[in-house]
Chains A and B, each alone.
Chain A
Amino acid sequence: MYAFNYHRAKSVDEAVKLQKSASEGSFLAGGHTLIPTMKQRLAKPSDVIDISGLKELQGISVAGGTVTIGAATRHGDVANSPEVKKAIPALADLAGHIGDPQVRNRGTIGGSLANNDPAADYPAAVLGLGATVHTNKRAIEADKYFKGLFETALEQGEVITKVTFPVAEKAAYMKFPNPASRYALVGVFVAKTKGGVRVAVTGAGPGVFRSADMEKALGASFEADAVASIKVSSKNLNSDIHASADYRAHLVTVMAKRAVAKANS
């Protein structure tokens, strides 16, 4: 780790100001991504601005068919929230399968979305449910938010404040964990929403993506069989020491099928 200045921001506005005046300012939420990279000297922020305690970034509420989750809400709180479990059980279920209890007690939804790890779970829910990412500046639709490997629509100094999820008619997430990291080797989120069926895939490619073929098939019949024979091309999928692109492509179909079955059960 290199030396840095630590600030505990009192408001989002102050956090943004502190970030702007720093030569290289980083927001700190759960720290589960930022701190390890700093320890390995891979990140060298001059200033770390802690937003994890900000009241305005906390909390879960459900109203008018929308679940709202503050950006600094921890995975464990989402997983255990009776409101979320009732409104969008698939979202609570997904949060409950992120990492291990220690990770869930620190990691936040805002941190996860800002980081946009290609194997992270939340991006699948955000894209799969057609959620909206709210920042101190604007509201960004899920379809416009994710830009591939660790890339998002966020600009320098922009803070995620909350995420709003429309309640779906049916939804489920199936994750095939990487045995080592327990991140998603492949994760598929399916949702039957007012605007149609959405299928979001994480872990398999350089970033979360939707499967148009599957959405179409499920739009016609929201049954596991509808996707069971849809093969995903392995062309743009990841190949690494954990899994080949072919295997990942195969898993997308299997996880999609199982997710639909789970959503229907």
Chain B
Amino acid sequence: MNVAIGQPIRRVEDDRLLRGQGRFLEDVRLAHEAQAVVLRSPHAHAHIRLLDPSAARAAPGVLAVLTHADLAAEGVKSLPPMTRDPRYEIKNSDGSRMPEPEHWPLAKDKVRHVGDPVAFVVAETRAQALDAAALIAVDYDPLPAVIDAASARAPGAPVLHDGAPGNRVLEWSVGDRKATDDAFAKAHRVTRLKLHNNRLICAYLEPRAAMASVTGDAITLYASGQGAHRFRETLSFCLGVAQDDVRVVMGDVGGGFGPRGFFQPENVLVALAARRLGRPVRWIGDRAESFTTDVQARDHAIECAVALDANGRFLALDVSSDWNMGAYVPARAVFAQIAHMGPVMPGAYRFPALHFTLRGYLTNMAPIYALRGIGRAEASHILERLIEEAAHEMKLDRVEIRRRNLVPASAMPYDNKAGSTYDSGEFEAIMDKALDLADWRGFGARKAQSRARGLLRGIGLCNFVENAGGAPSEFAEVKADPARRLDLYVGSGPSGQGHETVYAQVLAAELGLPFEDVRTHIGDTAIVKAGYGSAASRSMRKAGSAVVLGARIMIEKGKILAGDMMEATPADIEYQAGWFRVAGTDKSVHLYDVAAHARAKGEELSGAIDHKQPEETFPNGCQVAEVEIDPETGKVDLVRHSFVNDVGRVINPLLLDGQLHGGVAQGIGQAMTERTVYDADGQLLSGSFMDYCIPRADDMPFFATAFHEVPCAGNPLGVKGAGEGGTTGAPPAILNAIIDALRDFGATDIDMPAAPETVWRAMGARRPG
């Protein structure tokens, strides 16, 4: 099949996955495996006074019980927070460096959240390991728990890490304090809000797991993550071994969304145990462990204000957020949060002045990490809620106030005063397209119909701009095989998105060869030479670009070889759809024959590149949500959801729709159903799917999506990134719709998630019944 960019090719991986032939971690079986379980802290905060594994070590079937003492004896290092790694370092606004709290794979002297690993038990069977874990004597001396940023910074609060006095990790600002204050002082109106961007549990389908085997010095880690090479780097760091001695294998990954990019402590533990025992060690976490010990997301207590002139034009934006970071600082978490929140704080709007401060605090909860839309979801929540209330207070039309303040396409490239220069964007055109798609004008009639059925109805919108970033470089290598196939090696792999399909599509389209010729190789450091991984909507932009550039390098090499074969100079040779041709003649050789010629000479017809492309891109869009609310119960039904997106050039509209739908679904979760609850002692109360509500198919309407392609000039494919717009734009659109429906009750704000009781309470004294 000949394919082109922009063609809705179906996912090649689905046949395998739907037939149960996926190879997730639990499907990997190694000979002579030993089974491991983790003993975890039942306390949120406690000193470990005594830890005695001797009874467990003597229990039937037990092969090893590791505690922190064993890590120390083997010289294992703490997981690196990387706040001081030059690649990711951001300094506090006062110039000071951020602390690097230790994060041991097994607790040293102290536990800091429920589920913190305390001991690692390896036995012949999982049941034996569980039995033995129950025999470990641990004497905890409980400390008071800190469960939000406000109490973390209160004087006299219990301190989690000695290296982080006051539990403070960071205080970082962007913008002009004085200009912002001046603008507020002379504003016609100021609208203020206090918001909480709710803590989320990612809940990917495949629970965490890890496996390792060791032969001599060579360690193989079977892991589930978002980039094999990053994990190799971290494991070699923690164990103090050469990267060449570590191989990381990632098969199919059952959902990533960001949190799977975190290098979990168990990766170190399986490797250490396998090295010690000389046999493979397997750890498969269960869902309960996922709830308490997966890295979580968001959790910002926000104060924000917008200053406006008499015409509703924005004069300034002032935002501060206290970020509840949980018990540890995972690698790159600070970088990801700051880099994706500050620089897009003004979104699609013009603010002559702005200021944003982010303060981060440690608490006795699961650590926070990047989750789909990190930073941008918080920024759009802030902006679009503020704008909505400002319009209401000033009695301005909600669309009109946005229109007056959007950055016009003519202003591109646009410096947003928060550290970003938007290369392109047609925000107003996109908003208008979305309003049409949503039939904004027909809303009144639909509202009347709802009213006739005793229901409230509301509509809301959200314009957003994201910055798709991620590590600067990504690797791809293309090899032509004389057996008439193309082998493609890429450093960034999928956790469900369909990379195998789109990489092959990009390569086949670039070379003009059949799609079926491409074999994509991903996720094994022994096969793929380099790589970073998926994060920040970067794979198509960076890895996709590397695929194109790798193919072009291969073609240039091919011209030399073809010139050799046809006795022509490479400069005279053209390449098209598989054929190298001497220009102006009928002399040609096929790419695969050139590959055979190369092979005969002991060479390869291939092209590899570790493509560096540090610029960010700015995917953007507009979402419109429409809800119906049962006024007697507060139950919200999302009845329509429309979404127009500029992701740059569209590679595969079918897979893109999948990304958009999935992203919106996750945004619906944050806006309407997902509530992470810890009690005052730091116990997780929403610790199962019976208590933590992930939205289901029947919570969703059919989505209406449309594209508005404004190709990005910064990469050969013209793509901007598609993974996170859904999650970024959906929550504020939904909240604004709910508040619109509740205006008659005097509601001016609503917490996420807008669960039935929350909505019922927001109706206040005027609610029925």
B633 touches A176 (CB 8 A): yes
Q: Which residues of A contact B757 (CB under 8 A)?
A: 242-244, 247
A181 at the interface (CB under 8 A from B): yes
Which of B127, B288, B699, B769 is the one whose CB lies under 8 Å from A1? Answer: B127
- Which residue of A3, A40, A176, A254 is within 8 Å of B288 (Cβ)? A40
Q: Is the CB of B693 within 8 A of A180?
A: yes
> Is A202 part of the contact surface with B, judged by Cβ < 8 Å?
no
Q: Is B414 an interface residue (CB 8 A)?
A: no
Interface size for B (C-beta < 8 A) is 23
Q: Which residues on the B side are within 8 Å of A176 (C-beta)?
A: 633, 635, 756
The majority secondary structure among interface residues of chain A is loop
Q: How far is the CA of A60 from the CA of B689 in the complex (A)?
A: 33
* Contact, CB under 8 Å: B686 / A179: no
What are the residues of chain A within 8 A of B568 when measuring CB–CB?
none
Q: Please tell me if the beta carbons of A180 and B692 are within 8 angstroms of each other in the complex.
A: yes
Tell me if A2 counts as interface (CB < 8 A to partner B): yes
Q: Give the residue name and chain of the A residue nearest to B679 (CB).
A: A241
Distance to closest chain A CB from B478 (angstroms): 45
B760 touching A247 by the CB < 8 A rule?
yes
In A229-265, which residues have CB < 8 Å from any B CB? 241-244, 247, 250-251, 253-254
Residues of A within 8 A of B632 (CB): 254
Q: How far is the CA of A215 from the CA of B693 in the complex (A)?
A: 34
Chain A nearest CB from B28 CB (Å) reads 22
Cβ–Cβ contact B685 & A241, under 8 A: yes
- A3-B127, A179-B673 known; A254 vs B691 contact (CB < 8 Å): no
- By beta carbon, the residue of chain B nearest A183 is B690
Q: What residue of chain A has the Cβ atom nearest to residue B672's Cβ?
A: A179
For window 127-183 of A, CB contacts with B under 8 Å fall at 176, 179-181, 183
A180-B673 in contact (CB<8A): yes
What are the residues of chain A within 8 A of B625 when measuring CB–CB?
none
In B265-298, the 8 Å CB interface with A consists of 288
Residue of B nearest to A186 (CB): B633
Give the Cβ gap from A97 to chain B, nearest Cβ, in Å: 12
Closest to B675 in A: A241
A180-B760 contact, Cβ under 8 Å, with A3-B127, A241-B675: no
Is there contact, CB below 8 Å, between B673 and A253? no
- A41 is an interface residue with CB less than 8 A from chain B: yes
Docked CA distance A247–B692 (Å): 19
CB of B143 within 8 Å of the partner chain = no
B396 in the interface (beta carbon within 8 A): no
Most-contacted residue by chain B among A3, A242, A247 (CB, 10 A): A242
Determine if B692 and A41 form an interchain contact, defined as CB atoms under 8 angstroms apart. Answer: no
Inside 8 A of A41's CB, which chain B residues have their CB? 130
Residue-by-residue, is B129-140 near A (CB-CB < 8 Å gives 1, otherwise 0)?
010000000000
Which residue of chain A lies nearest to B685 when distances are taken between CB atoms in the complex? A241
What is the 8 Å Cβ interface bit string for chain A, positions 24-42, against chain B (1 contact, 0 not)?
0000000000000000110
- The answer to whether B677 has its CB under 8 Å from any CB of chain A is yes
Pick the contact of B127: A2, A183, A243, A251 (CB < 8 A). Answer: A2
Q: Is A242 a contact of B633 with CB atoms below 8 Å?
A: no
Q: State in angstroms the CA–CA spacing of A247 and B760 once bound together.
A: 8
Q: How far is the CA of A150 from the CA of B412 in the complex (A)?
A: 65
Interface size class of A (residues with CB under 8 A): 20 to 34
- Neighbouring A residues of B673 by C-beta, 8 Å: 179-180
Q: How far is the CB of A134 from chain B (nearest CB, A)?
A: 30
Residues in A neighbouring B685, C-beta threshold 8 A: 241
Shortest Cβ distance from B673 into A: residue: A179
List chain B residues, Cβ under 8 A from A251: 633
- Decide yes or no: A179 and B691 within 8 Å by CB, A1-B127, A3-B127 being known contacts: no
Within 8 A of A (CB), among B676-701: 677, 685-686, 689-693, 699
Which chain B residue lies CB-closest to A248? Answer: B757
Q: Which residues of the other chain, B, contact A40 by a CB distance below 8 angstroms? A: 288
Contacts of B699 in A (CB 8 A): 179
Instruction: Report the separation of the CA atoms of residues A201 and B769 in the bound assembly, to the nearest whole angstrom.
Output: 18
Contact B769 A250 (CB under 8 A): yes
- Chain A residues positioned under 8 Å from B756 (CB to CB): 176, 179, 243, 247
Closest-by-CB residue of B relative to A181 is: B690
CA distance A212 to B242 in the complex (A): 75
Q: Is the CB of B690 within 8 A of A180?
A: yes
Q: Is the CB of A254 within 8 A of B690?
A: no
| CB-CB nearest 4 A-B residue pairs | A180-B693, A181-B690, A247-B757, A179-B693
Question: Besides the contacts A2-B127, A176-B756, A179-B699, what 7 more A-B pairs have beta carbons closer than 8 Å?
Answer: A41-B130, A179-B756, A180-B690, A241-B675, A241-B685, A250-B760, A250-B769
User: Could you list 29 examples of A-B contacts with CB < 8 Å?
Assistant: A1-B127, A41-B130, A176-B633, A176-B635, A176-B756, A179-B693, A179-B755, A180-B673, A180-B692, A180-B693, A181-B690, A181-B691, A183-B690, A241-B677, A241-B691, A242-B691, A242-B755, A242-B757, A244-B757, A247-B757, A247-B760, A247-B761, A250-B760, A250-B769, A251-B633, A253-B769, A254-B632, A254-B633, A254-B769
